[in-house]
Amino acid sequence: MTATSTGHRIFTTTVGSVYPLYLAKLERKGRTQAELDAVITWLTGYDDVELQRQLATDTTFAEFFAAARINPNAALITGVVCGVRVEAIEDPLMQQIRYLDKLVDELAKGKALEKVLRA
């Protein structure tokens, strides 16, 4: 991952360009778009309409998470993504992006949606 003058490249990547990659990963594992959307709305506080609007525009990850209302239980998300423990990431934006990655990974590995959502 390449750094830019304002941070990592992922910060300026559009959410709408990554969403189909998340969806393809999950569909290969027998999961659904509804489950992906449930994970995203749980983490960000967006409702379905807000989420679809964010995906339809060129919203970057930085803008997406800046406008989000992060679930207070997000701190319960632990584990490793890309070799890094998500709970140890110091940059708040990068941590939020990795939270999303971790939730998608957990779904892909077959974990029950209720457990993924820390219910």
Using a 10 angstrom Cβ sphere, with 0-12 exposed, 13-18 middle and 19 or more buried, the burial of residue 3 is exposed
**pLDDT means per 10 residues in the chain (119 residues)?**
60 96 97 97 97 96 96 95 92 95 96 92
Return the H-helix or E-strand segment holding 8: strand 7-8
| pLDDT single digits (tens) 81-112 | 989 999 999 999 999 999 999 999 999 999 99
What percent helix, strand, coil does the chain show, rounded to 5? 60, 10, 30
The pLDDT score that the predictor gives to residue 6 is 53
Question: Tokens 């070799």 appear where?
Answer: 83
Average pLDDT, the chain: 93
Instruction: Name residues whose C-beta falls within 8 Å of residue 96's C-beta, 6 or more positions apart in sequence.
Output: 43, 65, 68, 70, 74
The reported pLDDT for the residue numbered 97 is 96
Q: Give the pLDDT confidence score for residue 2 in this predicted structure.
A: 41
* pLDDT at residue number 119: 78
Domain locations along the chain = 9-113
Distance CA 30, CA 90 (A): 33
CATH class of the domain defined by 9-113: mainly alpha
Q: Are 39 and 29 in contact (CB under 8 A)?
A: no
